[in-house]
Amino acid sequence: MATPDTAATTSLQTIQFDDTTQVAPGLVVRYKTVPRADTVVVRDPGDIPIAFTIEHQHKVIYRDKTDGYSYNDADREPAVRKLYPLWVPTGRDSGELLIDIISPPNTELSRRFFIRNASVVKLDTIPLFHEPAKNLDRDKWLELAGYSTFGEEWSDEQGRQWQTYNPKLYYEIRPTGLMLDSALTKQQAISQYGVFRGFTASDEPVIRIKKPEQGASPI
């Protein structure tokens, strides 16, 4: 009779999938399990090798590998699954492709691939976005917003609440790609913290949570 541990191992041992998403005409993002020998024992999701590729017109233009810890479609938030992969076109066969990733220690982020003339020319990492783009400041650009890391909150002995500085970053969607909206980011940081201390999260200084004004609604 199989124990829960052996049953779980057997289930992981048989996992196979080929998740393909078309993000633009001819441009595909693909996650596929790598074939394993029958003698390889898979004891946890980290033992499941997964090939990640970006393909243009059936040609691989980028290849990497990940594992079952970093990519598990069943564990992705519905909002993230609906939004990602995210494509921001900037021209013919060009644009910015965003995929959701998990970066140690368990921080959800976006990996951004700059694609020019059907080739990946640059990569970077920006916040993960949970909601579709909206016009948040009533200009002519839509914005996406997210945090680059986790913040912390706690109460002191007097019952006052505090939190670390972790500004929400806002990005405008422009014809040239995503651009940090520094004015909106600064405005919202001041609204939340009472002060702007840059675009990077920090454990110091610790600042007191500012109570929202009556009737005010954060963006």
Q: Is residue 66 very low, low, confident or very high in pLDDT (cuts 50, 70, 90)?
A: confident
Q: How far apart, in whole angstroms, are the C-alpha atoms of residue 196 and residue 68?
A: 39
Residues 49, 55, 59, CA angle at the centre, nearest 5°? Answer: 110
Residue 173 pLDDT more than 70?
yes
**Distances in Å between the alpha carbon of 173 and those of 86, 126, 195?**
12, 14, 26
Tell which wins on pLDDT, 219 or 17: 17
At residue 203, the pLDDT reads 82
Q: Is residue 5 very low, low, confident or very high in pLDDT (cuts 50, 70, 90)?
A: very low
In what helix (H) or strand (E) does residue 82 lie, and over which residues does it extend?
Answer: helix 78-83
pTM of the predicted model, to two decimals?
0.84
Q: Which of 76, 86, 11 is nearest to 44 (CA)?
A: 11
Most confidently predicted of 11-15, 111-115, 158-162:
111-115
Tell me the mean pLDDT in the region 201-211: 71
Residue 212 pLDDT more than 60?
no
Please enumerate in sequence order all residues whose Cβ is within 8 A of that of 43, keeping only pairs 6 or more positions apart, or say none: 9, 12
